[in-house]
Amino acid sequence: MAEYVSIEQARAASGMRLIVAEGVPGPWAEGIRGVLDAKKISYVRGRFDITSDHADLIAWTAQASVPVIAWNDEFPRSNWMEQIFLAERIQPEPGLIPAVLEDRTVMFGLLSELCAPHGFGWSRRIILIDNALRNPDLPDENKGFFRHFGAKYGYSEAAAAAAPGRVVEILNALHQQLSEQQAKGRRYFVGGQLSALDIYWAGFSHLIEPLPPEQCPMLDEFRPMYANLDPAVSAAATAELMTHREFIYVEHLGLPMDL
């Protein structure tokens, strides 16, 4: 299992530091962790406590969300795109940002659909929040956490009603892109080699169905929350897409996941 240090210890360290929640395959966290691992950039892993007031993280990064990466004395990055570019600068090989303009625009367009506000990750979290708030068996103190969490994502009944359609739309676009690539005899989402999009899809796919416990040893209490209950979303998460995430983990990131 991964070794963690406190945020204060991570801040005092040099080199690369990655701040994430322990034992949970957070989608944005899995994305940048996968990028660092694929590039063989070693890092110190700092523990983010979801129950704390995050004063230590705010003091360092001026915000309270993870993942965060920090390189030496540079100001920490909490934005997914800035994180990718930082990793690419530190270790250019293997290049995970395509050199060809057309491939690059496709990759960042689809990455935005996964990572940006109101995209796949955002919408899936709204669905998870809605499921929790509608669960009659969930204690009210637990619902308080989800109400607070929902405020971050602009949760409302209207947003929850729209979220599955948004998720399906993005999954359809990813499937079409992968199918077009496979028809050309290509194994990856863009171009002819691994890119950040392949890695981020592998990380975000856990919001549909996490890999089994022997491959994804996430905390037991979080696994039910990640499960998808919407049949339209299940249908859009095609076998080709889910097989692709397994290929990326097996060939490039390694299993079992180190959470």
CA distance 196 to 115: 12
State pLDDT tens for residues 199-211.
999 999 999 999 9
% of the chain at pLDDT higher than 90:
87
State pLDDT tens for residues 7-39.
999 999 999 999 999 999 999 999 999 999 999
What is the maximal distance between C-alpha atoms in the chain? 52
Q: Which two tokens stand for residue 179?
A: 């199918």
**Which CATH entry fits the domain spanning 7-90: 3.40.605.10, 3.40.30.10, 3.40.50.1370, 3.40.718.10?**
3.40.30.10
For residues 164-195, one letter each, b for 16 or more C-beta atoms within 10 angstroms of the residue's C-beta and e for the rest, the string is: bebbbebbeebbebbeebeeeeeebbbbeebb
- The structure's pTM equals 0.96
Domain ranges of the chain: 7-90, 101-253
CA atoms within 13 A on the CB side of 20: 25
CA distance 179 to 167: 18
